[in-house]
């Protein structure tokens, strides 16, 4: 089963309940987030996952490279990913510093911090997964906006150290995304495939408007087949930020997500 439940899809589901719920639904992979893992305890989480036969498919998230302590905090995130057995650490690269208009500078800063982190990631067996975020997040969340740009930024590093994420929500609009997916595969940098649907109108702040699979306009099968065509056999993580979904009980949200995944993605 390639389906993996990203923890933020059911963000209010306590970790032990989520683990039991996934195991009971036959789900074998989960993508975890640092904050709830820290709250439950890193070693406790690793044990909880093992006890329920769950694989940690990724750890969200490092990045935010504009922060002064970016190098140190990302090193800790790498250590955490390694302890959880997560093959990749998702990187949301951060936006512009407060009051700055220096977009080139912010992008250079990403490259600089990556250079400091990549060998450390390699030593820990963790691939840094640069995630291009939708351009609507460029100023405040992530200055890495297209797959081609993410791949260019990964180029100086060995593929085992720096890869890229393909998230349909962020990339569905990009006319170059199909070439980018093929390139990511050819370069051995396809770290992780995530899915969420695109729906409008967008909510205020545009953070919680991701759509349940099938509710929007993303061509999921086309994406999945393009990713598969590169030889990628890894997990398909469902990561949906959505108020309606978050207000549902965890087991119900998981059942809906699984059902839509089977209908639209698998």
Q: Are the beta carbons of 18 and 10 closer than 8 angstroms?
A: yes
For residue 135, state whether it binds a second copy (rule: CB under 8 A): yes
Candidates 1-9, 36-44, 74-82, 95-103; binding stretch for a second copy (CB under 8 A):
95-103
Residue of the chain from 134, 183, 189, 210 that contacts a second copy (CB under 8 A): 134
Give SS3 for 118: helix
The CA–CA distances, whole Å, from 118 to 152, 156, 239, 265 equal 15, 10, 25, 32
Separation CA 147–CA 181 (nearest Å):
8
For residue 111, state whether it binds a second copy (rule: CB under 8 A): no
Candidates 25-33, 75-83, 113-121, 196-204; binding stretch for a second copy (CB under 8 A):
196-204
Residue of the chain from 56, 96, 181, 253 that contacts a second copy (CB under 8 A): 96
Judged by CB under 8 A, the chain residues 202 through 221 that form the site for a second copy are 202-206, 216-219
Judged by CB under 8 A, the chain residues 219 through 248 that form the site for a second copy are 219
- Which of 116, 135 has the CB closer to a second copy? 135
For residue 94, state whether it binds a second copy (rule: CB under 8 A): no
Through-space distance between the first and last CA atoms of the chain, rounded to whole angstroms: 10
Q: Are the beta carbons of 10 and 250 closer than 8 angstroms?
A: yes
Give 32's DSSP letter.
Answer: E
Tokens, residue 223: 């994406």
For residue 112, state whether it binds a second copy (rule: CB under 8 A): no
Q: Count Cα neighbours of 104 within 13 Å in the Cβ-side half-sphere.
A: 0
What residues line the site for a second copy (CB under 8 A)?
Answer: 96, 100-103, 107, 134-136, 138-140, 145-146, 149, 172-175, 198, 200-206, 216-219
């Amino acid at each position: 089963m390639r389906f993996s439940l990203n923890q933020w899809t059911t963000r209010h589901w306590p970790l032990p309940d989520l683990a039991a719920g996934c195991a009971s639904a036959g789900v074998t992979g989960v993508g975890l987030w640092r904050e709830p893992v820290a709250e439950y305890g890193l070693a406790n989480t690793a044990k909880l996952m093992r006890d329920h036969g769950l694989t940690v498919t990724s750890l969200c998230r490092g990045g935010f490279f504009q922060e002064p302590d970016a190098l140190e905090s990302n090193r800790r995130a790498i250590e955490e990913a390694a302890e959880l057995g997560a093959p990749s650490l998702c990187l949301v690269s951060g936006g512009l510093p407060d009051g700055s208009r220096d977009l080139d500078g912010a992008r250079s800063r990403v490259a600089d911090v990556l250079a400091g982190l990549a060998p450390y990631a390699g030593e820990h067996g963790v691939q840094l997964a640069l995630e291009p975020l939708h351009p609507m997040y460029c100023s405040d969340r992530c200055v890495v906006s297209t797959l081609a740009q993410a791949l260019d930024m990964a180029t100086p590093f060995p593929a085992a150290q720096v890869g890229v994420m393909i998230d349909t929500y962020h990339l569905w609009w990009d006319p170059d995304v199909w070439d980018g997916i093929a390139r990511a595969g050819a370069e051995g940098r396809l770290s992780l495939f995530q899915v969420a649907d695109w729906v409008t109108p967008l909510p205020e702040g545009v953070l919680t408007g991701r759509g349940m699979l099938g509710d929007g306009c993303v061509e999921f099968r086309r994406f999945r087949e393009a990713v598969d065509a590169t030889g990628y056999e890894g997990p398909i993580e469902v990561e949906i930020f959505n108020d309606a979904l978050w207000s549902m009980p965890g087991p119900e949200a998981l059942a809906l997500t699984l059902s839509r995944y089977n209908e639209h993605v698998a």
